[in-house]
Amino acid sequence: MNFKTLKLLISLIGIFSILLVGCSNDLQNTELSIVVEKRIGDENNYEDFREVTDNEQVQKLKEILKDANWINAKAEMVTPPDYRFAFRFKNPNIEAKAVLYELWITPNIDKVVLIGGNQYVKLDIDKSAELFKIVTGEELTDQ
C-alpha cells in the first residue's frame, strides 16, 4: 500500500468516525419527549395535557434544568403543583427511571417554582417564562 492510499484510507476513516459520532448524538437527543400533566381543580388530580416532541424544545428545557441553581432540600408546598412533567424516551424498549418535575406558578404569576426529586428551585422571570412556554405552550403572563 502506498502512502497516498494509506493517507486516503485514514482520511475516510476519520470522516466516517465524525459522521458516526454526530449521527449517534442526534439519535440520542431525539429519543426524548416531555410528557406534561395539568392539575384539575384544587385537588391532587391530573390529566394528560400535552406532549412536547420538538427536539429543540426538549433540549432547551434540559439546558434550563441543568443550569438552574437547585437547592438540595425536601420542600413541601401548601397546594399541589399546577403542572407535572417528565422526560420520556420515545422508544418504548428503553427503560429508565424518570424524574417527575412538579411546577408551581408563583402568586405574582411571573415566576415558577420546581421540585424535582429532592431538589427545589425558583427560576428568575426570564427562565420561568421560557420554561413555562416549553412545558405548556402558553405564556406565563396569560395565566
Per-residue tens of pLDDT for the chain, all 143 residues: 654 554 444 544 545 445 445 444 444 444 899 999 999 998 899 999 999 999 999 999 999 999 999 999 888 899 999 999 999 988 777 777 789 999 999 999 999 999 998 999 999 999 999 999 999 999 998 98
pTM, full prediction: 0.76
Residues 80 and 46 in one domain: yes
CATH of the domain at 74: 2.60.40.4400
**DSSP-based three-state secondary structure for 19:** helix
Residues 37 and 26 in one domain: no
Residues 52 and 24 in one domain: no
> Crossing angle of helices 55-67/125-136, nearest 10°?
140
Residues 65 and 116 in one domain: yes
Residues 7 and 22 in one domain: yes
83 burial via Cβ count (<10 Å: 0-12, 13-18, 19+): buried
Place of cell 422508544: 91
- Total of domains in the chain: 2
Domain of 4 in residue numbering reads as 1-30
Place of cell 391532587: 44
Residues 38 and 108 in one domain: yes
Residues 107 and 51 in one domain: yes
